[in-house]
Amino acid sequence: MSGHTKTSVRSIERSAEPHGRGERGEVRSGKGGLVEGGVVLEDLRVFESDSFDGEKYVQSTCQSMSEKNIRQLCAGLLELRRISAEEMRKSVYTNYAAFIRTSKEISDLEGELLQMRNLLSAQASLIHGLVEVGSPTGVLSVREGSGPSSSSLDEVDLLEDELEPSVADERAAELPDILDVLLAERKVEDALSLLEEGEKLVSESQNGGHQGGDEDMLSHEAAAALHLALSERRTRLAEQLAESAQQPSVRGAELRAAISALGRLGDGARAHSLLLNSHRERLRNNVRSLRPSGTSYGGAYTAALSQMVFSAIAAAASDSVAVFGDQPAHASELVLWAHAETERCANLLRRHVLSASAAAGGLRAAAECVQIALGYCSLLEESGLALTPVLSKLVRPSVEEAVAANLDRIKESVAALAAVDDWSLTLPQPSQRGVGRTPYSMSANLKLTSSAHKLYSMVQEFLDDVTPVVGMQLTGPTLDGLAQLFEGYVRLLMKALPPTIDDDEYEGVENGEGHGEGHGDGGRVRIAETEAQQLALLGNAAALADELLPRASMQLSRSAPGSAQSTTPTSSQGAAGVHLGGTVGARKGRTLGATTRSQSSSEQQALRRRLQRAVDKLRDAICARVMANLMYGEDSECRPNAELYVRADPKKWEHEQMASTPFVQLFAALTSVAKTAAEVLVNRDRVVTLMLMRLTEALVIALMGDDAFWTVMESNERPLGHIGLQQFILDMHFLMQAANVGRYSSRAMREVAVEAINRAINAYSAQGEDAGSFLQTDQWFQGKAQDALKQLFREWSVPQRTGFESCPDSPTHSISSHHSHGSEVPSP
């Protein structure tokens, strides 16, 4: 493998190497080369060589490479092609307006140069005529007093013959008068023919000069006079044609004929501008006669306006091509003119239709109007004009306003319903949006509270309305709005949680209503008093975040630009322009489509993460309240007491190695929560397990951070004895084994529990005692903890099955089994 090949392969596979930034901000590889998109630019110079052989390079590169390396090389080359296409697209779109402006200036300059050439030609003719008049005419001078000779008389006769006007001179004298008549009669074609004839005579005279006896040549004097006369008549004809083109009644073939004649006169730039102005004035007159419907919908007005505007643009494009062909300067002027007319159309739509719909939250009406306009606009692509991205960009702010207003309406409706929600889970009601529509396609038995049902049904309607216009790069803003809507709903659910004992911010809560208007998420909400109601709050959030909202939002990805179902062009396809190559556009569309699909997938993943973070906040809030009630409630027996370990009874320990009462009560409370959760959150095992996992983590972390507890445990006044140390270690192993049995154990919980055990051992060793002299192994404590759990199961009449290690008798083993099989786990 050649050196260049190895370098290129290494550059493509160097994504894992560390990079730094140079003084100017450029990225540098670990070996000092400039890096862009993961590729060392220094290694790309092999492709710039004039002697580069692509086939030889591929053979030398891939000959000794493995299949994996070849795939990596192909992926790197595809990435290079994507970056190159993207940079070229950005460059073209950035400089497109400057290119059009420069092309128009060049066209104007060409017209001015043509006029200068005509003026110079006229001046040259005048100079030649003056020279002819002032020079000797060849007349023979006759000496004074000498008689006429025969030779002199012959020369005089010859001079008289030469001074007689030729046929060309006579024709030149007639042309101005004939042109005046034709101009008066408005016979444009005949006038143009005579002008061309006269210009031909003048041109031949200037090129060949006057030769005696030539009937087809003009004298210099006649040529100069004819040129001046033709210039005057040309100007009059041009003004006549321009005036005719500006008449509202002139259209169609008559307009094209006038513009074509003006172009034949050498004023193509002015002719094309007059053509576009004629279509603009006619369009404005038609639009003035159109009146908005006065309704909030405005579909008829949108259809009529769009048909007028884009039909006028299509007619102008057709006339331009018919008269001037595909001249770049005229095509650029046509694009700018079409862009301006599209802007005027968008402004009218925003003023008379979209602004009212957006303010009222009428997303469906706004989306349908935008679809109508885009449909008419897309028909121009057959004429070579891609104005859909322009129109999409112009009306997008109004659609975004409608989206925001619709989301606010959903938020207000859900907040109002949350104020009276009794937080009881029910099945979804039949949809009212369409006959036969299934409310939740993925689960007909999914239960939610009334406010969650309302939220999801309104979100479904919202997505149905916004999907037709999602091709206007609205996927990101729409998903962001959904995430904000869900986050606001979760804040409402958190406000519905009952206050904790030391929660000052909830003071003054009365009549079963939630606290005030925090976070700007509506007014009061009804408090979830019971444990089942609080778990229903979590069930709402988890169902929406895990299944309903992500599944519903997938229709945005299916309708996004680049997907198989997407047919609406987007602004990512570039600025408006005249398509000169369909194959290139199709290839670019496929590349951009793949990029857009990848972007849509990343947006969906970002939505799921945001939804899950909101659910985590609600779960933590519920666990914090449950933990506070268990650990710090006035009547709670679950709070570990350091006095229990400092004053441990050796006789009781020798008689039975059993978990202490607070940890037994704590396990009973966790079992009760698991049982209630299994009854409330049917078929939601993952939600229950994650909540119990987080709850046990919170309990152990609270114990580890209890300063009062550890102050007593580490005190030298009443030192911790070896019985108390063993009891504490057994309790911690009991809690870990209980989590294992319930299958809600976590590494974080185990790490904190082990840390607490080590801290207790250090407190005992600080007294100068050797804990290793009497402590049993971890396996011994684990066995005693399992024995304690078995004894509790027997006391609670939980039926035992095959083996403890497989945890068949776990209070949360197959959590829904307690509901389906009717097994009971009573709390002590």
Cα 774 to its chain centre, rounded Å, is 67
Containing domain of residue 21, as a range? Answer: 3-95
State both tokens at 761. Answer: 């051992």
Residues 437 and 573 in one domain: yes
Residues 467 and 510 in one domain: yes
Task: Count the alpha carbons within 13 Å of 174 in the hemisphere toward its beta carbon.
Answer: 9
Sheet holding 27-28, edge to edge: 20-21, 27-28, 34-36, 39-40
Q: Using a CB cutoff of 8 Å and minimum separation of 24, what contacts does 108-111 make?
A: 108/269, 110/269, 111/266, 111/267, 111/268, 111/269, 111/270
Task: Count the alpha carbons within 13 Å of 431 in the hemisphere toward its beta carbon.
Answer: 17
Domain final position from 51, 77, 95: 95
Whether 60 is in a domain gets the answer yes
Give the per-residue SS3 of 248-299.
Answer: CCCCHHHHHHHHHHHHHCCCHHHHHHHHHHHHHHHHHHHHHCCCCCCCCCCH
pLDDT at 458: 92
Q: Rounded to a whole number, what is the distance in angstroms from the first to the last CA of the chain?
A: 77
Among the listed residues 339, 244, 348, 247, the one whose alpha carbon sits nearest the alpha carbon of residue 288: 348
Distance CA 692, CA 622 (A): 11
Residues 573 and 663 in one domain: no
Residues 616 and 677 in one domain: no
Ordered DSSP codes for 439-479:
S-SS-TT--B-HHHHHHHHHHHHHHHHHGGGTTTTTHHHHH
Cβ contact 320:299 at 8 Å:
no
Residues 715 and 738 in one domain: yes
Q: Whole-prediction pTM value?
A: 0.67
Whether 261 is in a domain gets the answer no
- Rg over alpha carbons for the chain, rounded to the nearest Å, is 45
Whether 404 is in a domain gets the answer no
Cα 288 to its chain centre, rounded Å, is 36
State both tokens at 111. Answer: 């017209």
Whether 292 is in a domain gets the answer no
Residues 668 and 735 in one domain: yes
Tell me how many domains the chain contains.
Answer: 3
Distance CA 306, CA 353 (A): 12
Residues 660 and 568 in one domain: no
The CA dihedral of 537, 539, 544, 547, to the nearest 10 degrees, is 170
Whether 251 is in a domain gets the answer no
Q: Rounded to the nearest 5 degrees, what angle is found at the Cα of 449, between the Cα atoms of 447 and 450?
A: 120
**DSSP state letter for 426:** B
pLDDT at 617: 94
For the four alpha carbons of 682, 684, 689 and 694, in that order, the dihedral sign comes to negative
Whether 491 is in a domain gets the answer yes
C-alpha distances in angstroms, 314 versus 99, 346, 386, 571, 765?
A: 23, 17, 11, 21, 92
Residues 543 and 641 in one domain: no
Residues 735 and 611 in one domain: no
| Average pLDDT along the chain, 828 residues, taken 10 residues at a time | 41 39 43 48 67 77 79 84 82 76 79 80 72 51 45 48 60 72 74 76 66 57 76 78 75 78 78 87 88 68 92 90 82 89 92 80 84 91 86 90 90 92 84 48 70 92 88 86 94 89 43 44 78 91 90 77 44 38 40 54 87 94 86 72 88 88 90 88 87 91 91 86 92 94 91 94 88 89 93 74 37 34 32
Residues 536 and 494 in one domain: yes
Q: Is 423 left (phi over 0), alpha (psi -120 to 50) or beta?
A: left
pLDDT at 635: 61
Residues 619 and 683 in one domain: no
Whether 686 is in a domain gets the answer yes
Whether 315 is in a domain gets the answer no
Residues 602 and 654 in one domain: no
| Residue indicated by tokens 């007909």 | 444
Among the listed residues 287, 326, 277, the one whose alpha carbon sits nearest the alpha carbon of residue 308: 287
Strands 27-28 and 34-36: antiparallel
Domain final position from 95, 118, 142: 95
Domain final position from 80, 95, 110: 95
